[in-house]
Amino acid sequence: MKDGGFILWFTGLSGAGKSTLANHVAPILAARGVAVEILDGDEVRENLSKGLSFSKEDRDINVRRIAFVANLLGRNGVCAITAAISPYRAIREECRAKAQVPFVEVFVDAPLAVTEARDVKGLYAKARAGQIPHFTGVTDPYEPPSSPEVVVKTGEETLEQSAAKVIEYLKRRGLVR
């Protein structure tokens, strides 16, 4: 167990900007001397969860794996940023309860209208066309956090503003200098 580690848990719809924000926040933290690893949703699916579907059961398994690895990193002094949709509240709460390091939940809050209009990866169009089953926000639920540590509104704020909110919180909490 090494001091200084924590989990920065981003949650939000596909296209809400979780990965973008993670990739923007990471170098800011690194510049302040924090060791950072990003566990991106797509990367984790590839490396830890290939073969899992998007059913509730499989999503929960995927999220638990992310939390397991994030905790391993966290207790070794790393800031583990997770950037997976993680749509179910109960599992996020389970991850928080099991974490051996501070768990900071960041709700990357963009309305469905915004994420669907962006449709960066073209996934919403496919989901609407019935080509992707279990698509969060379209055919699968998204349960927003009840009391996240930070809420960023990526549809209204600039990336810099959202990142600043996260950093401000971490400073106030004493997790970053």
Nearer to a copy of itself, 98 or 172 (CB): 98
Residue with tokens 């089953």: 133
CA atoms of 22 and 24, how far apart (whole Å): 5
Give the binding range for a copy of itself (CB under 8 A) out of 19-27, 70-78, 109-117, 130-138.
70-78
Tell me: does residue 2 bind a copy of itself (CB under 8 A). yes
Nearer to a copy of itself, 5 or 102 (CB): 5
Nearer to a copy of itself, 35 or 112 (CB): 35
| Minimal distance, residue 138 CB to a copy of itself, in Å | 26
- Judged by CB under 8 A, the residue of 24, 32, 35, 96 near a copy of itself is 35
Catalytic, 86? Answer: yes
Tell me: does residue 72 bind a copy of itself (CB under 8 A). yes
List 14, 49, 86, 162, catalytic entry: 86
Contact residues for a copy of itself, defined by CB under 8 A: 2, 35, 37, 47-48, 50-51, 61, 64-65, 68-69, 72-73, 76-78
**Residues with active-site annotation:** 86
